Structure 1
Amino acid sequence: MLHEVSFASYNGRDQVQGWIYVPACKPKGIVQVIHGFGEHSRRYLHMISAFMDAGYIVAADDHVGHGKTAMVNNVWGDWGDKGPHTMMEDEHTLKGIVCEKYPDLPYFLFGHSMGSFITRDFIAKYGDELAGATICGTTGIFRGAEETGKKLKEAIDAGHGEESDPSYTGELMGWMCERCGEVSIGNEWICADPYVQRDHADDPFDAFTRPTSNRSVYDFIQMMLQIEGTKWAEKVPTDLPIYNIAGDQDPVGEYGVGVYQVSNWLVQTRHNVTTKLYSGYRHEIHNYAEIKNEVEAGIIAFMDKAL
């Protein structure tokens, strides 16, 4: 069964488009899939199907400025003016809609990349509503984020928030192909498979190739800064199981260093966290043909254990 849902965004402007995928069996739990920067939730259909086959209802939406939400509202690459918690609050709204339809089931989050930042923000505020959370392709201290953020704040204060200056995105993320060899598209850091790269770049629902407003890039940086250190980790319930996974050639996680930073912040604040790095793989470990089944099986095993 498939439910298509639409709800008002926290930004007060957009209608967020979402989906609830229900397996044809008695469900044992719910997992909400939270996609990353510049993409959309249908890029996770293989994972969604795996979760359903394992007996989980799956919820997902397209963030403001992304995917079908951007198409319906005719706003690409701008997330509104309500700040860096916007997408997190939208995910909480979706959770409420799902739980109204399917109450009293254990609820999990899976967030990839920016979706992992959203997940980490979510568990700091609403973690006591969850049975567990998987963060995939997350960041520790993201290289150059604070410095670029200061420049963007100056541009926004000067009245250029709704404009899009690609030099800021270049400064923030332009280094991420440094280990990728020959670069032709600019997204090679996501996966070594050229077919995944091309699919990502040519997808009409992707916002990756579209300009992002200065204000939204600034909010993206604030997402990362607000989930740094033990100050963030202390807000997360200590009894919430967390599964932290990534590729060790993922620049977002500084090739494993940032991934372990996050796990260490959680360990230092007495949390239950399991960490797994996939050796030799870049950002989208769930899109490598040779390991995606293993990645999904690991997430399912984590959730099953939490049950």
Structure 2
Amino acid sequence: MNRQEGFVMTSDESEIYLRQWLPKNEPRGIVQIAHGMAEHVGAYTECIEALLKAGYGVYAYDHRGHGKTVQQEEDYGHFEPNVGWDQAVSDVIFVSELIRKKHTCPLFLLGHSMGSFLSRRAVQLRGELYNGLLISGTGGNPGLLGVIGHKVATIEMKLRGAKMKSPMLNFLSFGNFNSHFKPNRTKFDWLSSDTKQVDRYIEDSLCGFICTTSFYRELFNGVLMVNKLEAYKKTPKELPIHIFSGDRDPVGNMGKGVQEVYEMYKKCGVKDVTIRLYENGRHEMFHEVNRQEVFQDVISWLDEHVV
């Protein structure tokens, strides 16, 4: 296995921390991972190992405000006001272009949770870069709640400053997620039914932090934008898409929001779109009790779509 990691300079001259894993032989394809909010690439070890074993190369970086990309403590969980979401989407595209320059094999984008919304947006803007899109733990249009969230975040940012951590916005975003899993053992029971994986998340200092007012404002804006019909219509019709989630994932409204995303792609004429809702699965299917099955399903889908 060939592994490399380090900082790379992006198109706006910021630095992100990028890792690359390549199998011993020529990769069958490359999977680019866009991780979720308040976590980092280091949490994807098992998934990456499974992909490498199946002959795929993996590229993954820590988003701005996350993991090793953060060089100053105050930048944890921060996106710059008015530009942060667009910068995060541009980073996805920047890394994809980097991969395209290095490799001729197919490129698949895999986005989880916040990374799923960033990936869906990247595909809307630069769909020609990809041979397939894998969407994990995504959600549908938050509608009025999303609009209210964005307004509250705007007020909170003006009152408290863009870089202030916001427990209130954190509660607005995730406060009721755990209520589906009473009696609660931890604040993060909604992530997985595997208690060891929940404990790993809690013990990881690079996971589970509270983000800034500006971050939440950018996130609400990004999620609302990517779920608009005119945005969906920019997705290439020929791009194969596989959507998967737990049917008890509160981010996907217990499967309803995930189904909505699937229906929207169908409505917009995407020809090859599939959905898989795992019974009793929660938010992080890559850390669920049946994760080996999930890895195998992802690999089977990749194998079918390697041209």
Partner of residue 187, structure 1:
188
Letter in 2 for 1:233: Y
Q: Map 1:1-307 onto structure 2 (within 5 A).
A: 1-9=2-10, 14-70=14-70, 72-74=71-73, 75-81=75-81, 82-101=83-102, 103-142=103-142, 144-158=145-159, 160-206=161-207, 208=208, 210-271=209-270, 272-289=272-289, 291-307=290-306
Instruction: Report the Cα offset of residue 51 of structure 1.
Output: 0.9
Report Cα offsets for 1:26-65 as digits up to 9, x if no partner. Answer: 2111110111000001111111111111111100011111
SS of match in other structure, 1:37: coil
Letter in 2 for 1:33: I
Identity across aligned pairs (percent)? 27
Report Cα offsets for 1:223-247 as digits up to 9, x if no partner. Answer: 2101114222101000000000000
SS of match in other structure, 2:33: strand
Would the alpha carbon gap of residues 36 and 120 (structure 1) be closer, same or farther in structure 2, given more than 3 Å must change? same
Letter in 2 for 1:154: I
Give distance in 2, aligned partners of 1:184 and 1:275: 30
Instruction: Report the Cα offset of residue 188 of structure 1.
Output: 1.0
5+ residue gaps, structure 2, are none
Contact 2:192-2:283 within 8 A present in 1 as well:
yes
Letter in 1 for 2:234: K
SS of match in other structure, 1:177: helix
SS of match in other structure, 2:134: strand
SS of match in other structure, 1:243: strand
Contact 1:145-1:172 within 8 A present in 2 as well:
no
SS of match in other structure, 1:140: coil
Give distance in 1, aligned partners of 2:12 and 2:292: 36
Alignment length (residue pairs)? 301
SS of match in other structure, 1:16: strand
SS of match in other structure, 1:149: helix
Contact 2:97-2:129 within 8 A present in 1 as well:
no
| 138-147 or 167-176, larger mean C-alpha shift | 138-147
| 37-46 or 80-89, larger mean C-alpha shift | 80-89
5+ residue gaps, structure 1, are none
Give distance in 1, aligned partners of 2:229 and 2:240: 17
Give distance in 2, aligned partners of 1:162 and 1:73: 12
Q: TM-score, normalised by structure 1?
A: 0.93
Give distance in 2, aligned partners of 1:288 and 1:156: 35
| 49-58 or 87-96, larger mean C-alpha shift | 87-96
Instruction: Report the Cα offset of residue 158 of structure 1.
Output: 4.7
SS of match in other structure, 2:244: strand
Contact 1:230-1:266 within 8 A present in 2 as well:
no
Letter in 2 for 1:52: L
Instruction: Report the Cα offset of residue 10 of structure 1.
Output: 5.8
Instruction: Report the Cα offset of residue 196 of structure 1.
Output: 1.2
Spell out structure 1 runs of 4+ moving beyond 4 A. 9-12
Contact 1:233-1:265 within 8 A present in 2 as well:
yes
Contact 2:262-2:275 within 8 A present in 1 as well:
yes
SS of match in other structure, 1:84: helix
Give distance in 1, aligned partners of 2:11 and 2:173: 26
Give distance in 1, aligned partners of 2:305 and 2:130: 10
Instruction: Report the Cα offset of residue 9 of structure 1.
Output: 4.5
Letter in 1 for 2:131: A
| 92-101 or 56-65, larger mean C-alpha shift | 92-101
